[in-house]
Structure 1
Amino acid sequence: MIDLSFTYKPLWKLLIDKEMTKKQLMEETNISKSTMDKMGRNEKVSMEILDRLCSHFSCDVSDIIEHIDEVEKQ
């Protein structure tokens, strides 16, 4: 398994704040279940997906993903 240094926790928090389910997000942004599953495992997704999310929420990339410092991961 590839260990990437990013997390989608900001996106999940945003969904909670907007009272929105992952299913609603998938429908509104045309994101597949497999892509949503990848994000759930903190795996990489395309820049197109990140762009779609940012456009949907009118936000910056840092509002949906967060870089995890190597020290924090331990």
Structure 2
Amino acid sequence: MISYAPLWATMEKKHATTYTLQFKGEISSSTIRRLKAGESVSTNTLNALCRILRCDLPDIVEYIDDGQGQAL
């Protein structure tokens, strides 16, 4: 499962708000809603978040093994 918990921590550390993402970074309100709900977003969105916040991908998302997947 992908968690966006690092995103919210990074935003707090950088004093960024969802307003910052929407109006300075052109992230749509529906994408913000998806992030808050823990739903999937595109790699383009992840790229934009890294650019806006000047951070790396691990500062935005983390993978949490929920034990429901099958190993290869």
Q: Same fold (TM over 0.5)?
A: yes
Residues matched between the structures, number: 67
Task: Quote the residue 2:34 is aligned against.
Answer: 38
Unaligned runs of 5+ in 2: 68-72
| 2:65 pairs with one of 50, 66, 69 | 69
Counterparts of 1:45 and 1:24, CA distance in 2: 18
Deviations 1:33-56 (A, max 9, x none): 000000001100011010111122
Q: TM-score, normalised by structure 2?
A: 0.83
Distance in 2 separating the partners of 1:14 and 1:44: 19
Cα RMSD over matched residues? 1.2
Contact conserved, 2:50 with 2:57, CA < 8 A, in 1? yes
Q: Which residue of 1 aligns with 2:9?
A: 13
Which is helix-richer, 1 or 2? 1
Deviation, 1:23, is 1.4
2:14–2:53 contact (8 Å) kept in structure 1 = no
Match of 2:48 among 47, 52, 59: 52
Shift of 1:10: 0.5
* Superposition TM-score, scaled by structure 1 size: 0.81
